[in-house]
Amino acid sequence: MTVRLYNTLTKKREEFIPIEEGKVGIYVCGITAYDVCHIGHARSAVVFDVIYRYLKYKGYDITYVKNFTDVDDKIIGKAIAEGTDIGEIAERYIREHNEDMDRLGVARPTAAPRATESIKGMIRLIETLMEKGLAYVVDGDVYYSVEKFSGYGKLSGRSLDDMMAGARIDIDEKKKNPFDFVLWKSSKEGEPWWSSPWGKGRPGWHIECSVMSQRFLGDTFDIHGGGEDLIFPHHENEIAQSEGATGKPFAKYWIHNGFIKIDSEKMSKSLGNTLTIKEILDAYHPEVVRFFILQRHYKSYIDFSDGAMAEARGGMERVYTALKGIKDALGGGESVSDLSEKDLSGEDKTAFEKVHTLPVRFTEAMDDDFNTPMALGYIFDTVRIINGYLPRDGAQPGGGTLFVLQDARERIREVGKVLGLFLEEPDDYFTKSQEREVSKRGLDVEEVERLIDERKQAREAKNWARADEIRDLLAARGIVLKDTPASTTWKIE
RNA sequence: GGCGGCAUAGCCAAGUGGCUAAGGCAGCGGUCUGCAAAACCGUUAUUCACCGGUUCGAGUCCGGUUGCCGCCUCCA
């Protein structure tokens, strides 16, 4: 089965056919290293991480490039403000970024080049554009002449005439056309610079991606991705630069992820409602964050709120509760059943067939434009089967049951690995989750446990009134108790 | 002003021409439990913003209306 994906360039869902059979080259625009990453970066990272892992799961030999922009106005501004150089600023935020990604369980790309490592290539590319008459020089700045590139606007679906009609940009007298964009910028006093045929200067923003994608993936490659805000002008300009220079098609498929809103508002620095990845991870388990993101199709916007996160947490718990049930039934052993599939019959056989085909359904969903919400739905279907199949308290499960449960766990792990979910030991997951909730709510754990202990004694004395009173007291603080024959455990609702 | 997207149950969210409109959360009834919790079973949209059209057949295609949103400036 082949993957079908929505291509921003054609505005259609298309069959994914790699340029070279079995191989995939993917380039995703990374961050500008001038500030800590927010939840929007997390979404983009998680979405493309899952696409990367899925294509790998499908057996493709994949080269995944995600760049760092380490020279730009904002970085320069920050360096000047702090009296340091751009290298130090970039280094700091790249390190922070990598830390955030590691915590989110985002795999490192095959290559993570920095713009400043490819300055020579950028100069060469700009020279080619000059030779082809696609660029012009004004006072040491080099501009791209959009009118000279006939395909300009094909990605964002607008013509230059449309853009002119609705132009809202400042007229810059240096430019021949208001949509011309800078390829090379002359440096002002105190700014970093590189020498070039046009004098001391630095690259414009778009040129780096044209150069680094070409360097790692060639003139034409399979997939180019990024946030939807990059469609115009960034990706449009990349196409103009690359196709203008090589005369060949640039990326074959373009994938763009949707934005995150916060409490139904657009997240932006001016509104002051940005949430950093660090803040989110202090409050929620990384897998809850991934689950929250993957619960919606990557192209739609997501509305972040505490309520939505609480729901995501609830969903995660459902899966981990089932995994815990399996673990308890297996008695902690990894491989306790030495049966094989053909030894199964009746109920065991039926359950096995349902559970064992999870990866097939998962693949169907993912092949359909990476439909992670549907993929998660199939995982929940599997969870229901497991829960209904788990031995009741105290019952001794038979060999067939163990075999099925073991397989169920394997299959959930198999697809979970692609999504970056359900990879923890259930006990660890619950412990970490609980610690976060406790610290978030400022609960006094010792007092909680003292009350539980008091309730235990009341229960032993069959003083149900006092036992219930304590439970209600704890419930008022969001603590839910669970009595098992052996002990009482508690969790945050 | 230009370009584009979305509207599915109380909430979140799949489904893009055809079996009974996935799944999660919340609710209700039952089983289990000292009572709960978790889990399971059942239940919760004759209907997919509205109006018209195409079709044997539409949530799904086309046209219109209304409402929300994004991009056009740095932005994931």
**pLDDT digits 0-9 by tens, A30-42:** 999 999 999 999 9
User: Is the residue at A5 inside a domain?
Assistant: no
CA of A315 to C1' of B47 (A): 27
Q: Give the closest nucleotide to A157 (alpha carbon vs C1').
A: B3
Same domain, A176 and A316: no
Does residue A203 have a cis peptide bond before it, meaning omega lies within 30 degrees of 0? no
| Residue that is last in its domain, among A234, A250, A280 | A280
What mean pLDDT do residues A163-184 have?
A: 78
Least confident of A163-177, A233-247, A252-266: A163-177
Q: Give the closest nucleotide to A43 (alpha carbon vs C1').
A: B76
CA of A454 to C1' of B24 (A): 36
In chain A, what's the furthest Cα-to-Cα distance? 92
> Where residue A187 falls among pLDDT bands split at 50, 70, 90?
very high
Integer Cα distance of A395 and A388 in angstroms: 14
CATH number of residue A253's parent domain: 3.40.50.620
Q: Which residue is nearest to nucleotide B1 (CA to C1')?
A: A166
Write out the residue range of the structural domain in which residue A72 sits: 18-280
Least confident of A46-60, A92-106, A174-188, A202-216: A174-188
pLDDT of residue A73: 92
Residues with Cβ < 8 Å from A33, sequence gap 6 or more?
A68, A69, A70, A75, A89, A90, A91, A92, A93, A94, A97
Same domain, A296 and A183: no
Query: For chain A, what is the mean pLDDT?
Result: 91
Per-residue model confidence as pLDDT tens digits over A326-341: 998 887 555 556 778 8
A19 φ/ψ sector (left φ>0, alpha ψ -120 to 50, else beta): alpha
Same domain, A193 and A149: yes
pLDDT of residue A491: 87
Query: ipTM score of the complex?
Result: 0.94
Q: Considering chain A, what percentage of its residues have pLDDT values greater than 90? A: 73
User: Which one-letter DSSP state was computed for residue A258?
Assistant: P
pLDDT of residue A393: 65
User: Which one-letter DSSP state was computed for residue A482?
Assistant: E
The three-class DSSP label of residue A204 is: coil
CA of A134 to C1' of B22 (A): 51
User: Is the residue at A12 inside a domain?
Assistant: no
Are A28 and A66 a contacting pair, CB within 8 Å? yes
Same domain, A231 and A161: yes
User: Is the residue at A2 inside a domain?
Assistant: no
pLDDT of residue A167: 56
The gap from C-alpha A394 to its chain's centroid, in whole angstroms, comes to 41
Q: On chain B, which bases lie within 7 A of the protein's CB atoms?
A: 1-5, 12-16, 22-26, 33-41, 69-76
| Residue that is last in its domain, among A428, A451, A476 | A428
| Phi and psi angles of residue A415, each rounded to the nearest 5 degrees, phi first | -80, -30
Q: Which helix (H) or strand (E) holds A182?
A: strand A181-186
Number of folded domains in chain A? 3
Least confident of A116-120, A293-297, A315-319, A346-350: A346-350
pLDDT of residue A358: 96
A82 residue type, one letter: E
Same domain, A194 and A292: no
CA of A160 to C1' of B44 (A): 52
User: Is the residue at A74 inside a domain?
Assistant: yes
> Where residue A369 falls among pLDDT bands split at 50, 70, 90?
very high
User: Is the residue at A106 inside a domain?
Assistant: yes
Same domain, A47 and A113: yes
User: Is the residue at A377 inside a domain?
Assistant: yes
Same domain, A334 and A418: yes
User: Is the residue at A437 inside a domain?
Assistant: no
Are A227 and A302 a contacting pair, CB within 8 Å? no
CA of A369 to C1' of B48 (A): 22
Same domain, A193 and A292: no
Integer Cα distance of A450 and A106 in angstroms: 40
> Where residue A118 falls among pLDDT bands split at 50, 70, 90?
very high
pLDDT surpasses 90 at A17:
yes
The number of C-alpha atoms within 13 Å of A457 and in the hemisphere containing its C-beta is 5
> Where residue A485 falls among pLDDT bands split at 50, 70, 90?
confident
Same domain, A130 and A248: yes
Q: Give the closest nucleotide to A262 (alpha carbon vs C1').
A: B69
CATH number of residue A329's parent domain: 1.10.730.10
CA of A387 to C1' of B8 (A): 29
| Residue that is last in its domain, among A245, A280, A315 | A280
User: Is the residue at A434 inside a domain?
Assistant: no
Per-residue model confidence as pLDDT tens digits over A268-325: 777 778 899 999 999 999 999 999 999 999 999 999 999 999 999 999 999 999 999 9
Q: Which residue is nearest to nucleotide B34 (CA to C1')?
A: A464
Same domain, A350 and A338: yes
Are A490 and A481 a contacting pair, CB within 8 Å? yes
The gap from C-alpha A193 to its chain's centroid, in whole angstroms, comes to 34
Same domain, A256 and A298: no
Per-residue model confidence as pLDDT tens digits over A92-114: 999 999 999 999 999 999 999 99
Tokens of A182: 């800078």
Q: Give the closest nucleotide to A459 (alpha carbon vs C1').
A: B34
Count the residues in chain A.
493
Antiparallel, parallel or unpaired: β A479-483 and A302-304: unpaired
pLDDT of residue A336: 59
Per-residue model confidence as pLDDT tens digits over A376-388: 999 999 999 999 8
pLDDT of residue A166: 58
Same domain, A121 and A168: yes
Integer Cα distance of A463 and A174 in angstroms: 86
Which is nearest to A280 in space by CA: A54, A39, A448, A24? A39
